[in-house]
A and B are shown apart, each in its own frame.
Chain A
């Protein structure tokens, strides 16, 4: 924006507006929900059509690792919420520490996910592999949905982690502080959404009865 002297409106779009940025984040989260929503619809339809196959395939997944990951994400949601409270109280040091903890937990999640995925790929269950191509169609659909949905979720974890990294950097630069912490809140909102989606993915894939 070219900054000129002269008449400037009181309600300028270039003023700082924390409410607006939070509203923007909420609206963005709606779109994220609907993005996954499309996949949830496909999941629902194919699970109804292939109930037995989905049940059988779900036994292939490691419930223990899935549970650990669920706990990891829930704790990370708590730590980022605490980081927001800390910055609100002006305690930047604690806020940064809690953000780094969240970042660490996101790495733990990704590492566990990596081992889960590589075990499946080792068994030839990734779409396009020979073993996968010979699976009955219900099971093939299950593993396709498993990979695309947890994959898209993992991508969101990575984006969230980068965002948290930015917040840590900005906090250290004092660009995020007690007076100005909308960025931390937005990162928190995003992280909670990523967490929330996992809360649905976990039972849908691991806990079918």
Chain B
């Protein structure tokens, strides 16, 4: 009896819908998050495709200007608040943080379940604007005042949804910090933690310390709309610049909520597929904290053209350049990890390499925007749109899908079709760059963002970009169809360690039992990536 129950995977212990949506098992909650995230992601992708279709030719192709504004707002709200902020922490953090630390759950399992429910409530609130009220907000995901105070669309509901989603994000962050402090397996010191745990640790602190500010700011927008108090609308005595400050005090650190977990995932996949220790473990670990820290003080770079003193702009610009240092430290260390490794080219590694390539483009274009003089020209052009899609989608999005390919055999105990995954990757990669690289060029040419129309001279790049969006969608569909096999329990079964990885999740069964381990996990002698002293793993 004992032996059987330990061998039973977490899928098989209990059955039925309620055993999932009320489960406090971190692995089941992670999968709840995964399925809901992918659903909302596909809604966001559809909205993005609609936008690209509208921009295929100058003039009206598909939708009216106002509808276009509502589409890009909802696209932003869904992708930012429903997909990319929760993405890696809520799915892979939830699933693998406890296993990598050698424990069986997070510190507060019930809070963990609550955070998913709060997320679902927030998501339904955001999507309800499609059906109820005066239509979805048309302000852009930033809800800039005074327009967000004046517009007739349903800003109040969108803003409250973002508030509720923030609460879910805080709960996840709080849970992870306490878990990392309290539940590491005996012998695993902070400096023997996998780098994914370090990245989540830094992320969690940002979630905890930045999110409340946006919460209260969004409540103030609601109060202003409902009660007519002149907080941010200048025509009734408010200060719109104050809103921008409050908004970006959260939303800039939030960029690192989106990026840091991706860095963590990359730092896991590189050693596994190079079969050697990561280069500069401490540098990568501490640079996460450095990014989290410096990331708090650079929000002003979103406002260079909004009206700030020259001194403030100068300081914000300088601090922005400072963030590039810890980020570059990571990139150099990743590339150095590949050097003299025995490289095993598998789909997760392809996503990793694409991540490094695209994140570099995103990062460098970020510096162009962080410089005062160039930003005056590029502010609110498609260059900005290209930049953040390179960082968020080309970076975090690719890391997310890379992580999905990497941990897939551990989660479902089965392997997808590798050839198919490679083909899907190539199409996805080409489509991505076709879609977003022209945006950088057309932005430099001066095309402003957030219009449903453009001048005829921008036609060619926009056309390439729209064709790219179709290639990207094809790649995405192929990839997800290939991965869906796991959900339907198809595909060949795998053992404990199909990639020859070293972190603790590879020592347990695939899929893991409810208690995560069927025997005490062994931690490697000299840090988490000590491939030379890798504990032998018996099936």
Interface residues of A (CB under 8 A from B): 1-2, 4-14, 17, 19-21, 23-24, 27-28, 30-32, 34-39, 41-42, 45-46, 49, 127-128, 133, 137-138, 140-141, 144, 148
Once the chains bind, are A42 and B208 in contact (CB under 8 Å)?
A: no
Q: What's the minimum C-beta distance from A61 to chain B, rounded to whole angstroms?
A: 18
Residues of B within 8 A of A (CB): 1-3, 5-6, 8, 13-14, 24-26, 98, 102-109, 111, 170, 174-175, 177-179, 181-186, 208-213, 215-217, 220, 223, 226-231, 236-237, 239, 242, 246, 249, 513-520
Of B105, B212, B520, which contacts A14 at CB under 8 A?
Answer: B105
B231 and A27 form a contact (CB under 8 A): no
Complex contacts, A35 vs chain B, CB 8 Å: 212-213, 215-216
Query: Which chain B positions have C-beta within 8 A of A24?
Result: 107-108, 111, 174-175, 178
A14, B246: Cβ atoms closer than 8 Å: no
Nearest B residue to A2, CB-CB: B13
Bound-complex Cα distance A24 to B173 (A): 10
Q: Is the CB of A23 within 8 A of B182?
A: yes
**Chain A residues with CB under 8 A of B6:** 4, 6-7
A137 to B98, CA, bound (A): 53
Known: A6-B513, A9-B520. 10 other contacts (CB 8 A): A6-B515, A7-B520, A12-B104, A13-B183, A24-B108, A27-B174, A38-B213, A38-B249, A41-B246, A45-B239
Nearest residue, chain B, Cβ from A19: B182
Q: Are A9 and B107 CB-contacts (below 8 A) given A34-B209, A144-B227?
A: no
Q: Whole-angstrom distance between the alpha carbons of A9 and B104 in the complex?
A: 7
Q: Most chain-A CB neighbours within 10 Å: which of B13, B228, B229, B246?
A: B229
13 residue pairs bridging A and B, Cβ less than 8 Å apart: A1-B24, A5-B1, A6-B518, A13-B109, A13-B179, A14-B109, A23-B182, A32-B212, A39-B216, A42-B242, A128-B228, A137-B236, A144-B227
Q: Is the CB of B517 within 8 A of A9?
A: yes
- Nearest-neighbor residue (CB-CB) of A138 within chain B: B237
Kindly provide the distance from the CB of A189 to the nearest chain B CB, expressed in whole angstroms: 14
B-chain residues with CB within 8 Å of residue A20 when the two chains form the complex: 107-108, 178, 181-183
Q: CB-CB < 8 A to A127: which residues of B?
A: 223, 227-229
CB-CB under 8 A from A7, the residues of chain B are 6, 515, 517-520
B331 nearest CB across to chain A (Å): 31
Residue numbers in B under 8 Å from A41 (CB-CB): 246
Complex contact A11–B25 (CB within 8 A):
no
Which among B181, B227, B517 has the greatest number of chain A C-beta atoms within 10 A?
A: B227
Q: How far is the CB of B143 from chain A (nearest CB, A)?
A: 15
Answer whether A11 and B213 are a contact pair too, CB < 8 Å, given A133-B228, A144-B227, A144-B229: no
Whether B170 lies near A31 (C-beta < 8 A) is yes
